[in-house]
Amino acid sequence: MKRFNHYSWPPWLRQIRAICGQVIIPITIFQAVRTIFFPTTFDVILLAIFILIAVAFHLEWF
């Protein structure tokens, strides 16, 4: 499997990736608190998606 060189990306794309990496954790925490108080199916699915995205950023899959 070929790994992408993040430095070959355009600067605007690297900036968007950096912003998403910083914002995803607070959004995930907020969604977790919301899911605890108002557990709907949509909230649980959205929380799972946010957790997967946060793990992907942490493991540098993106």
Distance CA 14, CA 6 (A): 7
First to last CA, the chain: 14
What is the per-residue pLDDT across 8-43, written as a single tens digit (0 to 9) for each? 778 888 888 888 888 999 999 999 999 999 899 999
Please indicate, yes or no, if residue 54 is contained in any of the structural domains. yes
Please indicate, yes or no, if residue 48 is contained in any of the structural domains. yes
Q: How many domains does the chain have?
A: 1
What's the pLDDT score for residue 49? 95
Please indicate, yes or no, if residue 24 is contained in any of the structural domains. yes
Residues 43 and 34: beta-carbon distance below 8 Å: yes
Please indicate, yes or no, if residue 2 is contained in any of the structural domains. no
Domain that holds residue 19: 8-58
Q: What is the pTM (predicted TM-score) of this model?
A: 0.77
